[in-house]
């Protein structure tokens, strides 16, 4: 666990609070400071108000975002101070914002202080956050987060990677693979609706490919036999499949399909194609398996959040891997945790996964333990 250095000692707090009252420290040389009462901010939040907090002018934000939409930020440095209480909360910054639901996202979780996911990075595609798909090294870190104090946060973004500093002189999280590419976009302060957070001293600086301190890291490789491409249908209402043990031609006849490649890890993020909404929370994910002969092969797979698996339009499996679906601590992170013996006929076999999403990540992955004699195509 990384211990953030305190922004001030308890003994000096009263003196420093008096000195800070009504002042804003100068931004780093070359940086653009954006006061919290600047008209450049646009708000889409349950609560947003500029007020005094811990001796500073600050923005109180809850349940939404404060956005800077009048810039195109790709690489560079983002800095701000943040304060929060001990309650469950999620507060941080988005960058390369392409729209309300499409951006890179780094945030702090005060209620998980000192735990491996007290800090998290996740990409957001089409309104779907991906933390159930992206977890572990490069996506989370254990840092002690002190409630009731100003903490200084700095992000250094460089191409497909970034580093986060939280009240520290060294990076506490190395984001070794940003998932959304390098297209430029806006910046945003983002807070979930559980508890408010306070922001001050916001500044940014555009710097092309700034140097990072972290050592390069080899990306994890997908297991042998991993499915590399899928056909993904347009979203539909998953409730239409309830209580049924077989599909009809009408279930897929009028759907549009798009080919989606798996990432280097083997995970296919379905939100790259589309978001979810009421009445459209499920997509079919299709594979065509051409077998040289009649045979049975074991397929390992993982999904988020719920799945129904069909071979030859007959239901083989139904499962729920959603958040808290098994106990109150269950996160629902994806992995090759399940397996199915597929009894394949000689020739073409259609395998369909109906994958449903609630929140936290919409994904699928699969790998054959032994794919000899099978050709896989989307």
Q: What are 41-53's pLDDT values in tens digits?
A: 999 999 999 999 9
What is the rounded distance in angstroms from the CA atom of residue 57 to the CA atom of residue 335?
45
Task: Residue 199: name the closest of 96, 99, 64 by CA.
Answer: 64
58 closest CA partner among 27, 14, 20, 19 = 20
Query: Using CA atoms, how far apart are residues 270 and 264, in angstroms rounded to an integer?
Result: 15
The pLDDT assigned to 3 comes to 52
- Res 22: pLDDT: 32
Nearest to 299 by CA among 312, 307, 285, 309: 309
Per-residue pLDDT, 30: 86
pLDDT in the model for residue 296:
97
pTM of the entire predicted model? 0.90
How is residue 221 written in tokens? 């490789």
Distances (CA, A) of 7 to 20, 21, 83, 355: 13, 15, 11, 46
pLDDT at 15: 25
25, 78, 122, 142, 259 from 118: Cα distances, Å: 27, 20, 13, 5, 35
| β-pair partners for 229 | 261
From the centroid of its chain, how far is CA 181? Answer: 14
Catalogue all structural domains in the chain, each as residue range(s) with its CATH number.
2-206 (2.60.120.560), 229-377 (2.60.120)
* pLDDT for the residue 100: 83
Q: What is the pLDDT of residue 23?
A: 34
- Which stretches in the chain have pLDDT values below 50? 6-26
């Amino acid at each position: 666990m990384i211990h953030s250095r305190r922004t001030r000692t308890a003994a000096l707090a009263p003196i420093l609070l008096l000195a800070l009252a009504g002042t804003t420290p100068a931004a780093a040389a070359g940086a653009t400071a954006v006061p919290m009462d600047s008209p450049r901010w646009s708000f889409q939040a349950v609560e947003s108000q500029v007020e005094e907090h811990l001796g500073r002018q600050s923005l109180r934000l809850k349940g939404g975002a404060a956005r800077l939409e009048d810039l195109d930020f790709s690489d560079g440095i983002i800095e701000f101070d943040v304060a929060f209480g001990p309650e469950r909360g999620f507060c941080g910054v988005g960058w390369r914002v392409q729209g309300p639901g499409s951006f890179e996202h780094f945030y702090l979780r005060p209620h998980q202080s000192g735990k491996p996911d007290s800090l998290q990075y996740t990409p957001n595609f089409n309104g779907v956050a991906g933390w159930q798909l992206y977890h572990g090294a490069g996506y989370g870190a254990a840092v002690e987060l002190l409630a009731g104090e100003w903490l200084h946060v700095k992000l250094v973004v460089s191409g497909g990677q970034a580093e986060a500093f939280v009240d520290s002189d060294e990076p506490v999280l190395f984001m070794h693979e940003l998932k959304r590419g390098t297209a430029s976009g806006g910046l945003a302060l983002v807070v979930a609706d559980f508890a408010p957070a306070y922001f001050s001293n916001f500044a940014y600086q555009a710097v092309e490919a700034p140097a990072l301190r972290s050592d390069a890291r080899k990306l994890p490789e997908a297991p042998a036999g991993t499915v590399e491409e899928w056909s993904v249908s347009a979203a539909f209402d998953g409730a239409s499949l309830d209580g049924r043990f077989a599909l009809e031609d009408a279930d897929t006849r009028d759907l549009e399909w798009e080919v989606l490649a798996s990432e280097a890890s083997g995970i296919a993020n379905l939100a790259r194609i589309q978001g979810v909404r009421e009445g459209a929370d499920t997509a079919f994910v299709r594979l065509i398996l051409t077998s040289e002969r009649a045979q049975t092969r074991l397929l390992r797979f993982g999904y988020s959040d719920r799945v129904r698996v069909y071979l030859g339009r007959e239901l083989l499996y139904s499962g729920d891997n959603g958040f808290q679906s098994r106990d109150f601590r269950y996160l629902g992170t994806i992995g090759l945790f399940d397996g199915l013996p597929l009894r394949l006929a000689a020739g073409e076999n259609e395998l369909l996964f109906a994958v449903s999403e609630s929140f936290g990540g919409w994904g699928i992955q699969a790998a054959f333990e032994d794919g000899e004699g099978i050709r896989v195509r989307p």
